Structure 1
Amino acid sequence: MEAQSKEREAMQLIAEADRKVKYSQSFLGALFGGSSKLEEACEMYTRAGNMFKMVKNWNAAGNAFCQAARFHLQAQNKHDAASNYIDASSTFKKTDPNDAINCLATAIEIFTDMGRFTIAAKHHITIAEICETELMDVDKAVAHYEQAADYYKAEESNSLANKCLLNVASRAAQIEQYSKAIELYEQVATSCMDNALLKFGAREYFFKAALCHFCMDPLNGKALLEAHDEQNVDAFTKAVKEFDSVSRLDQWLTTMLLRIKKTIEPEEAEGLC
């Protein structure tokens, strides 16, 4: 009962906001403070959006936030417009990932137009995560991680840029784009070498680059795992287990090591780790 009451109240706010917008666009509105009516309408759309969220009417909430955003843009309130598009994205994500992405993309356009590249980068990462987890579109996710890295670099946020590049490298290796993965892992590892706090991580990234070399061409990485050069699957498995006892293997490492093992003895590729 309370939910129905909230929804009715939200719909009444939408109707009142629509009337204020219509007045602001009329001849009388142009003469007698139509802009203030537009601001009032934006506030009402936002309040309605929050009420729709409370009763989990996600589409109605998203549409209300989008209305507020559009009229904030009309009034040149860019920051408020971008905030409304982000709110809309969070609600549309419950029902339609593509609508969520479209709202974030519009918010990103506004932020970049304002020169807010760090915030734009953050939302590119959010889009990448939606593409990967909801749409299963790795290529699109990679494109957004790369764009985020470019924006972070432009703002001299190199550590955040490197995190994005590592995401790109990981996905590139998973879809067997080993050359790209190697280039990025080595690039990040080299940059870490110049920072005393990040130096330790360089070894991990060089190691991952070497694994990619193995997957692409075993001869390029033979110094890393002597067992591979000897074509000794037992020695390779033992070496992997010893590594796992020191540093637990994540899904990425397990996938790469399985691919390497298959080049040693394909028929015994199952059972690693």
Structure 2
Amino acid sequence: MGASRGDSLLQQADKKASSSTGWFSSSSSKWEDAADLYQQAGNAYKVDGRWTESGKAFEREADCRLKADEKNDAMNAFYNASKSYKKTDPMAAVNALHKTIKLVTEAGNFRQAADREKDIAQIFAQDGLDIGRARDSYQRAGDWYKQEDANATANQCYQQAAELSAELGDFPTALQLYKTVADWSLTSPLTKYSVKEYFLRAVLCCLAMGDLVLAQRSLDEFAQKDVTFPSTRESKFAKELVDACDEADIERYTAAVFQYDQVTKLDNWKTNILLRVKKALEEDEGNLT
């Protein structure tokens, strides 16, 4: 690849950063000038699609901004670095985002920290890079959003964390997160319609844990929280599944799943959980015969 404008700007920035401070200039202005040149280099590399070089240039800009005590500009530079790195080096993007979060939390801006933590979660979740760390980041972002009273966004993050928890086989955490999301959803007429979905998912988590007592107790608890829930298809489906498992009746269980799917198409998440529960039923039946 031939020399680009980015290469030229990077050389100028390196020269400025390593220069000695003259009689009539301050150390601060030296770092500011170098930072401006690194920023220009980062943007020039972006134009050329040289994403890794762009990310590195923005990180060097951020370091100079910190030396010039320009923390807000350093935050932006680290964030710009993460956006460039995301194209070619996900872990470098995550590291740059962690540096951004450190600065924004020190400044007390937890809403912005939540946004960046959510970015980290999305990077880890994409293509299954690291589901465990994605879950943890979604949960942390949710906590920060909640702290800042951004409840709707917090619950979107908790929902993602719940789905990933179940994917990891951590059903107790998934159950608690779905209950948290459901409780908040009950407080608003705009979100109340979705509560039955979260209640169903919570019961499925109980079944995946093999805890029929907790499943039935959860159904009773949900009926008290929302008096309309027992009349919904979701509640009747959940109750039929609990009864089928209680009787170890695989045919009844399979029929309930088939009938529900005929009217409301099961998504991949529910399908995977239902298959897991069915497999456990089959294994129990095999142990009895």
TM-score normalized by structure 1? Answer: 0.86
Instruction: Note if contact 1:14-1:64 (Cα within 8 Å) is conserved in structure 2.
Output: yes
Residue matched to 1:208: 201
Alignment of 1:105-254 (within 5 A): 105-133=98-126, 136-217=129-210, 219-220=212-213, 221=215, 223-225=239-241, 226-254=243-271
Residue matched to 2:13: 17
CA-CA distance at 1:101 after TM superposition: 0.7
Instruction: Note if contact 2:31-2:67 (Cα within 8 Å) is conserved in structure 1.
Output: no
Instruction: Note if contact 2:6-2:40 (Cα within 8 Å) is conserved in structure 1.
Output: yes
CA-CA distance at 1:20 after TM superposition: 2.4
- Separation in structure 2 between the aligned mates of residue 55 and residue 104 of structure 1, nearest angstrom: 23
CA-CA distance at 1:267 after TM superposition: 10
Distance 1:8 1:156, change over 3 A: same
CA-CA distance at 1:34 after TM superposition: 4.7
Residue matched to 2:51: 58
Select between 86-95 and 148-157 the one with higher mean Cα deviation.
86-95
Distance 1:231 1:266, change over 3 A: same
Structure 2 residue corresponding to 1:28, chosen from 17, 22, 25: 22
Select between 105-114 and 133-142 the one with higher mean Cα deviation.
133-142
Instruction: Note if contact 1:121-1:151 (Cα within 8 Å) is conserved in structure 2.
Output: yes
Secondary structure at 2:22 match in 1? helix
- Separation in structure 1 between the aligned mates of residue 31 and residue 96 of structure 2, nearest angstrom: 21
Select between 233-242 and 187-196 the one with higher mean Cα deviation.
233-242
- Separation in structure 1 between the aligned mates of residue 245 and residue 256 of structure 2, nearest angstrom: 10
Secondary structure at 1:217 match in 2? coil
Structure 2 residue corresponding to 1:43, chosen from 30, 33, 36: 36
Secondary structure at 2:190 match in 1? coil
Which amino acid in structure 2 is aligned with residue 256 of structure 1? Answer: I
Deviation by residue 1:24-76 (Cα, 9 ceiling, x = unmatched) = xx3416x4245344323222211211221222222211111111111112222
Distance 1:111 1:134, change over 3 A: farther
Structure 2 residue corresponding to 1:259, chosen from 276, 279, 282: 276
Which amino acid in structure 2 is aligned with residue 63 of structure 1? Answer: K
Report percent identity of matched pairs: 36
- Separation in structure 1 between the aligned mates of residue 27 and residue 169 of structure 2, nearest angstrom: 58
Q: Are 2:8 and 1:8 equivalent residues in the alignment? A: no
CA-CA distance at 1:218 after TM superposition: 5.0
In the comparison of the two structures, how many residue pairs are matched?
A: 261
Distance 1:142 1:108, change over 3 A: same
- Separation in structure 1 between the aligned mates of residue 114 and residue 10 of structure 2, nearest angstrom: 33
Which amino acid in structure 2 is aligned with residue 265 of structure 1? Answer: E
Residue matched to 2:68: 75
Which amino acid in structure 1 is aligned with residue 201 of structure 2? Answer: K
- Separation in structure 1 between the aligned mates of residue 41 and residue 210 of structure 2, nearest angstrom: 59
Instruction: Note if contact 2:138-2:161 (Cα within 8 Å) is conserved in structure 1.
Output: yes
Distance 1:173 1:134, change over 3 A: closer
Deviation by residue 1:124-146 (Cα, 9 ceiling, x = unmatched) = 11111222335632222222112
- Separation in structure 2 between the aligned mates of residue 244 and residue 72 of structure 1, nearest angstrom: 57
* RMSD (Å) for aligned C-alpha atoms: 2.3
